[in-house]
Amino acid sequence: MSVSNDLFERAKQLIPGGVNSPVRAFRSVGGAPFFVKSARGATLTTADDRELIDFVCTWGPAIHGHNHPVIKAAIAKALDAGTSFGTPNPHEVEMAELIVRFFPSIQKVRMCNSGTEATMSAIRLARGFTKRDKIIKFAGCYHGHSDSLLIKAGSGALTHGNPDSAGVPASFAQETVVLPYNDLAALDAAFAANPGQIAGVIIEPYCGNVGFIMPDAGYLQGLRERCTAHGAVLIFDEVMTGFRIAKGGVQERENITPDLTCLGKIIGGGLPVGAFGGRADIMDHLAPLGPVYQAGTLSGNPLAMAAGIASLRLLEELDPYARLDALTTRLCDTAAAAAKAKGIAVQTPHCASMFSFFFTETPVRDYATALTGDATVFKTFFHACLDAGVYLAPSAYEAGFLSTAHDGPAIDRACEVVDAAIRGL
Ligand code: HOZ
């Protein structure tokens, strides 16, 4: 038995499904997950000493690849000073200054420990600020696993067939209005049906949790205008896209100013972190200034702050977005050309360092069209890539990610593997 299989058997005895986050269990693609013992650059080394080119990048955070020496040194230096103080620390201030500089829509920011905490807190803040209860979210957008947001959710919830999680009281779900992404008419109808009741609208401006999907031209602008007209707080969940689509996220690329923004992943440099921020008049409703409570023992943790600061400074220095976009485009164009040669349909939406392969002839622009992707073909494709040493997300409903460590040779090899995997379908 392989070391990974042995570990998985042991894990299943004690950890539900053998994993601490559902998508990792490989259930939608079949087979058993591999365990990773180390990672460096764009390469994962499994417990069985296989080397894999990694296009999951720890689900987004590893924009500089794994174990980057600069980030590692920053963590080591912070570690020397202590792991957690439970008091304000200087790193938090530096992090806030960096975030505010990269995201002009953010005037004030609060650190927390995960993307889930960020979105959950932003929703509570929007409700406390507007004194309204209802929120709008979009089908297939995944904003972590708090109760109000686990409704028609993407990511693992969709992958495992539970987009509406058990355990969410119906009375909570009633306060969440779910609409199709990319549909302004549906948004208008929802505002008309709930006059003066919508506290906020939360969206992944580019979706990354139902595969990667981009908005139609004018959609996000239309969303902004309607939120302003109806006094609803517009919340951009840029946990995945922040610092990844551009330094200032989707909002920079699309030139839209949301009221609140949720961040995570890259800002922790690989350690657990989240943040939410935005208009000062809204943020000042948070305790201790205002009545909306939010807190965390490890919030602003010095190790996570140090890792995140190093990661953001590297991005500032390298400005890697055009290069990453070119590499991602090459990978996607290779998949599209191989599919054309083979006579099968594939959609390859991509931007900067995010991409997806949907095996469907239908252009993918929302949850319903994402579901037209052929899951059986995806499964065969996924395993063909994995067998040849290329690790893609083990779900048709997760985005792929590149990092600055994905150099020419890594992309050359990945293109060869993707080409052969599609031609072999
Ligand atoms: N929800 C994450 C991806 N969208 C998965 C995180 C993980 O399994 O590590």
Residue count (the chain): 425
- Closest atom of ligand 1 relative to the 398 alpha carbon: 4
Candidates 265, 367, 379, 397; catalytic one: 265
Instruction: Decide if 232 contacts 199 (C-beta within 8 A).
Output: yes
Q: Which of 352, 342, 326 is nearest to 381 (CA)?
A: 342
Report CA(216)–ligand 1 centroid distance (Å). 26
> How is 207-266 classified by DSSP, letter by letter?
B-SSS-B-PPTTHHHHHHHHHHHHTPEEEEE-TTTBTTTBTTHHHHHHT---SEEEEEGG
Q: What is the pLDDT of residue 233?
A: 99
The phi, psi pair for 146, rounded to 5°, reads: -80, 155
**DSSP codes of every residue in 149-161:** G-SS--HHHHHTT
For a substitution probing ligand 1, which of 21, 28, 210, 271 has the most ligand atoms within 8 Å of its CB? 21
> Structure tokens of 183?
């549909």
Q: What residues does 177 pair with on adjacent strands?
A: 136
Ligand 1 contacts CB of residue 23 (under 6 A): yes
pLDDT class of 168 with cuts at 50, 70, 90? confident
CA of 23 to the centre of ligand 1 (A): 6
Question: For residue range 47-103, what is the model confidence (pLDDT) as tens digits?
Answer: 999 999 999 999 999 999 999 999 999 999 999 999 999 999 999 999 999 999 999
CB of 156 closer than 6 angstroms to any ligand 1 atom: yes
**CA separation (Å) from 93 to 71, 181, 305, 361?**
18, 36, 9, 49
Mean pLDDT score across all residues of the chain:
96
Is 206 labeled as catalytic in the residue annotation? Answer: no
265 is a catalytic site residue? yes
The pLDDT of residue 159 is above 80: no
The alpha carbon of 154 and the centre of ligand 1 are apart by a number of angstroms equal to 11
Of 246, 207, 173, whose CA–CA distance to 349 is shortest?
A: 207
Q: Which of 26, 36, 59 to mutate to test the pocket of ligand 1 (most atoms within 8 A of CB)?
A: 59
Q: Which of 108, 142, 181, 183 is catalytic?
A: 142
pLDDT tens digits, one per residue of 108-134: 999 999 999 999 999 999 999 999 999
Question: Per 3-state DSSP, what percentage of the chain is helix, strand, and coil (rounded to 5)?
Answer: 45, 15, 40
- CA 424: distance to chain centroid? 30
Q: Note the pLDDT of residue 138.
A: 96
Q: Do residues 32 and 394 make contact, with C-beta atoms less than 8 angstroms apart?
A: no
Tell the residue nearest (CA) to atom 1 of ligand 1.
Answer: 155
Answer with the residue of higher pLDDT: 57 or 149.
57
Quote the tokens at residue 388: 């040849």
What is the pLDDT at residue 70? 98
Of 54, 237, 259, 325, the active-site residue reads 237
Q: Is the pLDDT of residue 162 over 80?
A: no
Q: What is the pLDDT of residues 245-299, one digit of tens each?
A: 999 999 999 999 999 999 999 999 999 999 999 999 999 999 999 999 999 999 9
Q: What's the rounded Cα separation, in Å, for the pair 108 and 260? A: 10
Q: How far from 107 is each of 277, 279, 422, CA to CA, in Å?
A: 7, 5, 47
160 pLDDT more than 80: no
20: tokens are 């601490």
C-alpha 398 to ligand 1 mean position (Å): 8
pLDDT given for residue 148 in this prediction: 83
Q: pLDDT (tens digit, 9 = 90+) per residue, 301-355? A: 999 999 999 999 999 999 999 999 999 999 999 999 999 999 999 999 999 999 9
pLDDT at residue 165, rounded to an integer: 84
Give the DSSP H/E element, type plus range, for residue 401.
strand 400-401
**Residue 234: pLDDT over 80:** yes
Distance 42 CA to ligand 1 centre (A): 18
Q: Which domains occur in the chain, in start order?
A: 3-63+320-423 (3.90.1150.10), 69-317 (3.40.640.10)
Which atom from ligand 1 is nearest to the alpha carbon of 24? Answer: 8
Which pLDDT band, with edges at 50, 70 and 90, does 422 fall under? very high
The reported pLDDT for the residue numbered 163 is 73
Of all residues in the chain, the percent with pLDDT exceeding 70 is: 99
The verdict on the CB of residue 155 being under 6 Å from ligand 1 is yes
Q: What are phi and psi of 38, to 5 degrees?
A: -160, 165
Q: What six digits make up the tokens of 267?
A: 């800002």
419 belongs to the catalytic site: no
Nearest atom within ligand 1 for CA of residue 142: 4
Q: Kindly give the distance from the C-alpha atom of residue 274 to the centroid of ligand 1, in angstroms, as a whole number.
A: 14
- pLDDT score at 356: 98
Give the residue, out of 35, 55, 155, with the most ligand 1 atoms within 8 A of its beta carbon, to mutate for a pocket test. 155
For residues 125 and 283, give the distance between their C-alpha atoms in angstroms, rounded to a whole number: 8
